[in-house]
Structure 1
Amino acid sequence: MRPRLPAAVRGAGVWLRRFAATTPGVIGVVVLVVGTLCVLAGFTSANQLSGKITRHETVLDRTEPLAYAAQNLYVSLSAADAAAAEAFLSGGIEAADVRVRYQTALADAAGALAEATAGANDAQTRLIVARISAELPAYTGLVEAARANNRQGFPVGSAYLREASALMQDSLLKNAQQLSTDRFAAVNAEQGRIGALPWSTIGLLLLVLIACGAGSFVLLRRTNRRFNLGVGAAAAAAALALIWAVVATTVAGSSLDGGRNGAADRFESLAEARILAQQARTAETLQLITRGDITEDEQVFTQHTTALKDRLTAVTGADSAALQRFQSWTTGHRKQVEAYQAARFTEAVDQAIGRGTETSATRFASLDESLRTELGAVRAELRGGVDSAGDALSFSPSATLLLMLFAAAATVVGLWPRLKEFL
């Protein structure tokens, strides 16, 4: 048997039901429902639109810089591997500039690793960081062992360098590439959330408009008044807030240019192109280390350069400076292969790592500089779009909240005279 409510509570409930059936009770219900929906819609819209502004700030201050740092990590690690191979190929004591380039690449990698993982709290990122942090000292140790043996003319030096490069290619760079992929995915996800329509806000504002319409119909039936200024003002404010929220979000989404071939897509493609270039350059230098069959390394080089050419053609166009420098570099590589296959090893090494204007090393450096310039330009375009999206949303939270608070107040002010007629 259910416990009975106290008599006073039951009596109050009966009185409320009877009062709600009267005209003043109906007017009170309209005020309560419309006013509550207005306040709820106002705070919901302010919260959703403020969240988009916060995401815009997060992209500029954290997400995009971390993605850029992640691709820099990969490039720095790969550059260090290529520099280590160049130092080995030079024989004996390597040139000072090659040594400096290797050490600079390692320092850049350490800095990029710290920046790309700053504040990371997901398990996958922590695992990647732990692996890179543990394996990087092992890699440098193998390189130093190769360097020491090479200076003394011991053939075992090439085995150490091959082992070091295998560690770099099979683990360090794969982890760095995964980190880069995750960071760019985060950039795209954040942009998608900024440009997405605030459906909760839209739904509540539509409910306000429906409630205003239903309330006006009820008032017409009860009071024979065709129009209430307060309810009309509330509906107008809700309609203006709805238009503001939709237009501001749409403009923000269009500013982001996040679709196919948009700034974000080209930014990621150029970062991947730079990674492919570094992979091909490493294969180009490593194929001369063992002085054996270079078929496998040449296949790796061809695989990476083919993918690189496709990316450059799609992103920069068929007549871009980057593509022209790519073609110049691959032409230099063919000279290197021809010299190697003709048993002119010294000539092949000089073509691979020499400082002349026609060498593969110089031509690759020109290509990498072009890719870095293109990447910087697209990055600026991406950040400019995100900044413009923030501008489009800047006044939306406060404007929609004030409009809906005004709508709630207008409802109360407009219906209070009607309510007083019966009190």
Structure 2
Amino acid sequence: MALIMAGLLALVAVLAGVTVTTANTKTDATWELAERHEPTAADVQRLYRALSEADATAASTFLAAQNASLELRKRYEDDIALAGQTIGLAAVDRGTDPRVAREIDTISRQLPVYAGLVEAARANNLQGLPIGAAYLREASHVMRTQILPAAERLYTIQADRVAEERADAVRFPYLAAGLLLVTLIALVATQVYLWRHFGRRLNLGMVVATAALIVGLLWSSVALTLHATSAADARPDRVTALGQARIVALQARANELLTLVARGNGAQYEEQFDELADELVGKDGKSGLLAKARQDAEGDVAAALANTAGATRSWLEGYREVRKLDNGGRHGEAVERAINEGAAGASAPAFAQLDAGLERALQASREQFVDDIVTAARSLTLLTPGWAVLSVVAAGGIAYGLRERLREYR
């Protein structure tokens, strides 16, 4: 009986260590997902968006030349400033990852080069020198071939991290569950042994120990079920899909404007625009990234995306009109329709409406994701100290119940 008591106490001690560690790890991992990993992924996505928007805004500013508004100039400067700020934030979550360091180094080195080329393009353009267009095309080339690919790889790394952490958070605790089952079987077997040898059906200490572990089992089952359900509702792929849709739209807008900058030599930009438009809305105009985003949308996300289909159609129709004017030798009118939001049939206001809708949807989707993760984390509240207390109660019950039987031998 002394050996049985020692064995049961040792089993409960191991169970306590495993359950407390498991509950604590799940709780910490879930809170970190909400407070650290997801915000970092959002920062990287914001970095990508700022870089893409800067490329499009630089082209708009160039086309407007002397008539460029202060708002356009400020938007470009804000995007470059935001990119600089978020580069450091992007390194916080994976500071020891060499892949992160490599991509951040690429962006940090090439971003000043890009900004310098844009300023050279602007200065030459204001003087009416045609070489300004060459500078702008080179700047866009640096952005598209070096900076944006590095930012995309950086976002992929962080998005994978969020997906991995979410998967870890919902993984079933097989070791803790197995140990709990073994301990309960051992407690029941010991009570059967005591009943047969002492003729007493119930042992108060052993009943208390068993009840404590059953309470822990029920509590954990409910908490982990709620945790898994809430974490499963938090789908990072929705945020990723919306972010990708917005980035593709911004890249297509940059190609639309760069085609005008090229003045008859923008065939490559037209081809890229068509490819990006197909990716965004599909060849039929009803599929692509936007359709996928709307299909899974609900609540505030669905409301934000409600008008994006119409805005996209208006933008693409405006783009086709701009191309007709430009190809027909009416370059000035084409530029006016492309960048002036007040011009009849302009593509600029339609794109602005599309971009604003995607931004609102992206923010709402992020908020939904964080709310679901926080709900999952809160479902584990007090589970760690709860298991510590229940394990002490179980150990005390075992010691008390078997000590009473041992005293009968004295």
Compute the TM-score of the two structures, normalised by the length of structure 2.
0.90
Q: Give the C-alpha shift of residue 224 in structure 1.
A: 4.7
Measured in 2, the distance between the counterparts of 1:333 and 1:245 equals 58
Q: Which residue of 2 aligns with 1:7?
A: none
Q: Which residue of 1 aligns with 2:237?
A: 265
Q: Which residue of 1 aligns with 2:299?
A: none
Measured in 2, the distance between the counterparts of 1:402 and 1:323 equals 56
| Native 8 Å contact 1:74 1:176 kept in 2 | yes
Q: Which residue of 1 aligns with 2:187?
A: 212
Pairing 1:421–2:393 present:
no
Amino acid paired to 1:76:
A
Q: Deviation per CA, 1:118-157, whole angstroms, max 9, x where unpaired?
A: 3522111111111111111111111112122222222222
Pairing 1:176–2:160 present:
no
Measured in 2, the distance between the counterparts of 1:228 and 1:308 equals 69
Q: Give the C-alpha shift of residue 75 in structure 1.
A: 0.9
Percent identity among equivalent residues? 34
Q: Which residue of 1 aligns with 2:71?
A: 97
Measured in 2, the distance between the counterparts of 1:86 and 1:230 equals 79
Residues 100-139 of structure 1: matches in 2 within 5 Å? 100-119=74-93, 120-139=95-114
Pairing 1:277–2:271 present:
no
What SS does the aligned partner of 1:287 have? helix
Q: Give the C-alpha shift of residue 217 in structure 1.
A: 4.0
Which stretch shows the higher mean deviation, 193-202 or 125-134? 193-202
Which stretch shows the higher mean deviation, 91-100 or 299-308? 91-100
Decide which of 20, 23, 26 is 1:52's aligned counterpart.
26
Gaps of 5+ in 2: 282-287, 296-301
Pairing 1:375–2:362 present:
yes
Q: Which residue of 2 aligns with 1:143?
A: 118
Which stretch shows the higher mean deviation, 302-311 or 273-282? 302-311
Decide which of 130, 136, 141 is 1:155's aligned counterpart.
130
Q: Give the C-alpha shift of residue 344 in structure 1.
A: 1.4
What SS does the aligned partner of 1:257 have? helix
| Native 8 Å contact 1:71 1:275 kept in 2 | no
Pairing 1:187–2:159 present:
no
Which stretch shows the higher mean deviation, 63-72 or 109-118? 109-118
Measured in 1, the distance between the counterparts of 2:387 and 2:332 equals 73
Q: Deviation per CA, 1:171-192, whole angstroms, max 9, x where unpaired?
A: 1111111112222222222222
Residues 12-23 of structure 1: matches in 2 within 5 Å? none
Compute the TM-score of the two structures, normalised by the length of structure 1.
0.88
Amino acid paired to 1:96:
L
Measured in 1, the distance between the counterparts of 2:166 and 2:71 equals 42
Q: Which residue of 2 aligns with 1:315?
A: 293
Measured in 1, the distance between the counterparts of 2:70 and 2:197 equals 94
Q: Give the C-alpha shift of residue 226 in structure 1.
A: 4.2
Measured in 2, the distance between the counterparts of 1:186 and 1:169 equals 25
| Native 8 Å contact 1:196 1:249 kept in 2 | no
RMSD of aligned residue pairs (Cα, Å): 2.0
Q: Which residue of 2 aligns with 1:19?
A: none
Q: Deviation per CA, 1:196-229, whole angstroms, max 9, x where unpaired?
A: 2222211211121122133234434544544433
Decide which of 332, 335, 339 is 2:321's aligned counterpart.
335
Pairing 1:324–2:298 present:
no
* Equivalent residue pairs, number: 394
Measured in 2, the distance between the counterparts of 1:339 and 1:101 equals 27
Q: Which residue of 1 aligns with 2:336?
A: 350
Measured in 1, the distance between the counterparts of 2:320 and 2:236 equals 34
Measured in 1, the distance between the counterparts of 2:362 and 2:19 equals 36
Q: Which residue of 2 aligns with 1:23?
A: none
Measured in 2, the distance between the counterparts of 1:225 and 1:95 equals 91
Measured in 2, the distance between the counterparts of 1:43 and 1:324 equals 58
Amino acid paired to 2:365:
V
Measured in 1, the distance between the counterparts of 2:403 and 2:29 equals 42
Amino acid paired to 1:302:
D
Amino acid paired to 1:330:
L
Amino acid paired to 1:369:
A
Q: Which residue of 1 aligns with 2:5?
A: 31
Q: Give the C-alpha shift of residue 247 in structure 1.
A: 2.2
Q: Deviation per CA, 1:334-389, whole angstroms, max 9, x where unpaired?
A: 11112122221111111211131642222211111111111111111111111111
Q: Which residue of 2 aligns with 1:14?
A: none
Q: Give the C-alpha shift of residue 107 in structure 1.
A: 1.1
Pairing 1:74–2:48 present:
yes
Amino acid paired to 2:173:
P
Gaps of 5+ in 1: 1-26
Q: 1:373 to 1:330 in 2, by over 3 A?
A: same
| Native 8 Å contact 2:170 2:232 kept in 1 | no
Which stretch shows the higher mean deviation, 35-44 or 171-180? 35-44
Q: Give the C-alpha shift of residue 415 in structure 1.
A: 0.9
What SS does the aligned partner of 1:359 have? coil
Amino acid paired to 2:308:
A
